[in-house]
Structures are given as C-alpha cells and as structure tokens.
C-alpha cells in the first residue's frame, strides 16, 4: 500500500481535483491512501523554540500513523534529487526487498522535525523533478 502523509490540508480546488485524479490513477497499482494530519498551531511570528516544539509535536503525530515496518520517504528541499526513472527503480528495489508499505511524508509550512527526517529511508527533494 502506498500512503501519503501530509501535515496540513489541501484547500485549493485545483489541488483537491489533482489529488483525486492521482488517487483514481493509482487504483490500478494497488491504490494510494492520503492521510492529512493537522499542523501544530503557532502564533503569527513564532520564535525558533516555538517552531521546534511544534515540529516535535507534529513528528509524534506522524509516528502514531506510520504503518509498522513501512519504508519511509521524507520529502524535503535538502533531500536527494532524482528523476522519475531513478525513483521508479528505487521503489522497485524496495518492493523486491519485501517492503509492501510505502509512505511518502510531506511536512508542514515550517518543515519537519530533524529527528523525523533522519528516521526516513530516503530523504527526497522533488523541487526540479518532472513527472
């Protein structure tokens, strides 16, 4: 099963329609589950300590929803750059190693807790990728 965990909610109609279309397309490959978790509430101008505490709280929420023994791909700007073909080969290798649960994690507006990033099996940047 492929799960996408996102901190925050899709709000724009265009993104909601795109997500529904991708879910429909993925049914042929075993389906995809989108899990939107709430972002931690922060004041308008949070201090670094407040941001850090919020990210730790979000990380705990994410960990509660991770399938046991799932392969975790954390999406972050500083992650590894891969084209679509390289990502497909990576996912195939993961499947051949017996991992049936794949999770892609998208952080909140302030990113992700550093410990949660280190927990991932792959830190991936999708900035210049083309699908």
Reported as a single tens digit per residue, the pLDDT across 73-93 is 999 989 999 988 998 899 999
**Which residues does 81 contact at the CB level (< 8 Å), separation at least 6?**
125, 127, 128, 129
Helical (H) or strand (E) element with 38: none
The predicted model scores a pTM of: 0.86
Rg value, the chain, Cα: 15
Higher pLDDT, 114 or 31: 114
d(CA 55, CA 60): 9
Which of the residue ranges 14-28, 52-66, 108-122 would you say has the lowest mean pLDDT?
A: 14-28
| Per-residue confidence band for 128, with pLDDT thresholds at 50, 70 and 90 | low
Three-state secondary-structure class, residue 106: strand
């Amino acid at each position: 099963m492929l799960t996408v965990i996102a901190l925050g909610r899709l709000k724009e109609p265009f993104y909601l329609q795109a997500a529904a279309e991708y879910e429909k397309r993925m049914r042929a490959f075993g389906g995809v589950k989108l899990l939107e978790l709430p972002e931690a509430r922060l004041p308008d101008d949070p201090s670094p300590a407040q941001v850090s505490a919020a990210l730790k709280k979000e990380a705990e929420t994410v960990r509660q929803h991770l399938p046991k023994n799932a392969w975790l791909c954390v999406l972050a700007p500083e992650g590894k750059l891969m084209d679509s073909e390289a990502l497909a080969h990576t996912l195939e290798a993961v499947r051949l190693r017996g991992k049936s649960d794949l999770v892609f994690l998208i952080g909140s507006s302030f990113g992700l807790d550093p410990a949660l990033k280190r927990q991932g099996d792959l830190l991936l940047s999708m900035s210049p990728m083309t699908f």
